[in-house]
Amino acid sequence: MIELLDGMPEGVIGFRAVGTVTAADYREVLDPAMDAAIETTGTLDFVIVLGEEFDHYSLGAMVEDAKLIGRPLSLWDRAALVTDRDVLIGIAVAFGGLVPGQFRAFPLAHLDDAIAWVGEGAAAAAAAAT
pLDDT digits 0-9 by tens, 16-36: 999 999 999 999 999 999 999
Q: What are phi and psi of 64, to 5 degrees?
A: -65, -40
Which residue ranges in the chain fall short of pLDDT 70? 94-99, 130
Q: Would the pTM count as exceeding 0.85?
A: yes
Determine, yes or no, domain membership for 110: yes
Cβ proximity of 118 and 46 under 8 Å: yes
Determine, yes or no, domain membership for 95: yes
Determine, yes or no, domain membership for 129: no
Please name which of 82, 76, 81, 83 lies closest in space to residue 122, comparing C-alpha atoms. 76
Determine, yes or no, domain membership for 128: no
**Residue-level pLDDT at 18:** 96
Determine, yes or no, domain membership for 26: yes
CATH number at residue 108: 3.30.750
Determine, yes or no, domain membership for 43: yes
**Residue-level pLDDT at 109:** 97
Cβ proximity of 79 and 48 under 8 Å: yes
Range of the domain at 9: 2-122
The residue type found at 112 is: D
Determine, yes or no, domain membership for 11: yes
Domain count of the fold of the chain? 1
**Element holding 91 (H helix, E strand):** helix 86-96
**Residue-level pLDDT at 128:** 77
Determine, yes or no, domain membership for 48: yes
